[in-house]
């Protein structure tokens, strides 16, 4: 009976130490601010933490994002309309013309987004801005290629 | 511990005044020898078990720590990926919904 108690105590101690080691190691390697930001869906908390931004800088970025939203909506609407027209197109000539127009609209959308990202990057310290821009562009490319599960380790630095 | 042992005490005493009966002295010496052997075996066994327990604990704690760090790193990458997607979805919803 005494032996069982001793063994139980020993195993309990080992398990406790293992749990503590796991917890400390996990906490040390996990980014809690990002984790909480994901849970709260608060991208600006993450951005401020990730790119070491001041309150003034983050407020400016928020206003830039808000100002860009109607521009983005307009691009989206134009593309939707272009796609709808392309579906309805009857002649081959009309199709070619509408396809060309659609490519132009998508390019405009892409360029607009890149310009917006550059504007946001300009609000950050130079190195952080470059890192932000590279991270966003890489993710956009990966998303466009359908590689949703790609790792962004390369731009973490 | 040895000072309180009656057998050891007797042996010490007999070094000054040896017992008359040599057979009894021999038996007591044998008993003392046996006790020492048992004691040594016990301590050696205990030492081995202590070493094994320390090694096992260290191994389990190391594996737990390593697992924690690997999962933590994966969590960090996954969180970063999720928040970037969330941000891009906010500023360019069409691109994300079209995927």
ipTM of the prediction? 0.74
B24 touches chain A (CB under 8 A): no
Rounded to two decimals, the pTM is 0.65
Q: What is the pLDDT of residues A40-89, one digit of tens each?
A: 888 999 999 999 999 999 999 999 988 988 888 888 888 888 888 888 87
CB atoms within 10 A of CB B17: 7
CA atoms within a 13 Å half-sphere pointing along the CA-CB vector of A83 = 9
DSSP string, B28-54: HHHHHHHHHHHHHHHHHHHHHHHHHHH
The reply to whether B69 touches chain A by the CB within 8 Å rule is yes
Confirm if B29 and B15 have CB atoms less than 8 A apart: no
- Using the beta-carbon criterion (under 8 Å), do A136 and B73 form an inter-chain contact? no
Q: For chain A, what percent of residues have pLDDT higher than 70?
A: 90
Residue A142: pLDDT band (50, 70, 90) is: confident
Put simply, the answer to whether B57 touches A13 (Cβ < 8 Å) is yes
- Which of B59, B68, B75 would best serve as a mutation to test chain A binding (most A beta carbons within 10 A)? B68
**What pLDDT band is residue B2 in, cutting at 50, 70 and 90?**
low
A2 has a pLDDT exceeding 50: yes
pLDDT at A151: 43
Q: What average pLDDT score do residues B9-15 get?
A: 74
Task: Indicate if the pLDDT at residue A156 is higher than 60.
Answer: no
Mean pLDDT score of chain A, rounded to an integer? 85
Q: Span A126-135, mean pLDDT?
A: 92
Name the token pair of B58: 């260290």
pLDDT per residue as tens digits for the range A13-46: 999 999 999 999 999 998 888 999 999 888 999 9
Spatial separation of the C-alpha atoms in residues A16 and A149, rounded to whole Å: 35
In this complex, is the C-beta atom of B58 within 8 Å of any C-beta atom belonging to chain A?
A: no
pLDDT in tens, B42-95: 777 777 888 888 888 999 999 999 999 999 999 999 999 899 888 888 877 665
Residue B40 tokens, joined: 């040594």
């Amino acid at each position: 009976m005494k032996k069982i108690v001793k063994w139980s105590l020993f195993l309990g101690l080992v398990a406790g130490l293992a749990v503590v080691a796991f917890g400390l190691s996990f906490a040390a390697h996990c980014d809690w601010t990002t984790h909480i930001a994901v849970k709260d869906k608060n991208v600006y908390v993450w951005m401020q933490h990730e790119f070491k931004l001041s309150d003034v800088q983050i407020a400016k970025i928020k206003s830039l994002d808000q100002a860009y939203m109607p521009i983005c909506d307009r691009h989206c609407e134009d593309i939707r309309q272009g796609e709808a027209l392309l579906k309805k197109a009857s002649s081959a000539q009309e199709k070619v013309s509408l396809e060309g127009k659609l490519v132009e609209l998508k390019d405009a959308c892409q360029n607009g987004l890149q310009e917006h990202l550059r504007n946001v990057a300009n609000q950050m310290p130079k190195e952080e801005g470059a890192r932000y821009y590279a991270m966003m562009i890489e993710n956009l490319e990966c998303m466009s290629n359908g590689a949703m599960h790609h790792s962004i380790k390369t731009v973490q630095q | 511990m040895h000072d309180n042992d009656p057998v050891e005490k007797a042996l010490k005493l007999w070094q000054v005044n040896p017992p008359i009966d040599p057979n009894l002295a021999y038996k007591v010496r044998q008993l003392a020898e046996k006790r020492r052997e048992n004691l040594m075996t016990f301590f050696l066994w205990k030492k081995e078990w202590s070493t094994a327990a320390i090694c096992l604990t260290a191994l389990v704690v190391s594996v737990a720590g390593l697992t924690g760090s690997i999962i933590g790193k994966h969590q960090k990458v996954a969180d970063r990926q999720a928040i970037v997607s969330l941000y891009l979805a906010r500023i360019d919803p069409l691109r994300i919904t079209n995927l």
